[in-house]
Amino acid sequence: MPQLFDIDLLTRKVIISVMFPHTSPESDVKYYRWMWSLKKHWCEECGKPLQGYSAAYVSHILTKGAHTETRYDPLNSNILCMQHHNRWEFATLSEKQKMFIFWENKKRLKYY
């Protein structure tokens, strides 16, 4: 995924602000659908195939509340099954470091 968005931060922010001009439930739905269309439909942590679309499969690396500027940035999302979405969201840093996606996510964060 990073190669698709390997552009400078300012340009990426402009593109995202045009696609998602306001934070709203409608923009959230549009974003989740967009992520589902861009990414493979299996859990990036365990490889489990995911049947059918669900916004719950789109997991933010940095939380939407604490990092509103990355809310609609594709580099800030993983596709995860519910088990691993919950694990990522509620795990301690040491628990996250044991996850397969941790090091790739850490590389993505260099873009911020």
Q: What is the DSSP string of 39-80?
A: S-SB-TTT--B--S--GGGEEESS-TTT-GGGTT-GGGEEE-
The pLDDT tens digits for 6-46 are 677 788 888 888 999 888 999 999 999 999 999 999 999 99
pLDDT at 92: 94
- Tell me if 39 sits within 8 A of 87, measured CB to CB: no
Distance CA 3, CA 65 (A): 26
pLDDT at 61: 95
- pTM attached to this predicted model: 0.85
Task: Extract the tokens encoding 31.
Answer: 């974003």
Average pLDDT, the chain: 89
The pLDDT tens digits for 32-91 are 999 999 999 999 999 999 999 999 999 999 988 888 888 999 889 999 999 999 999 999
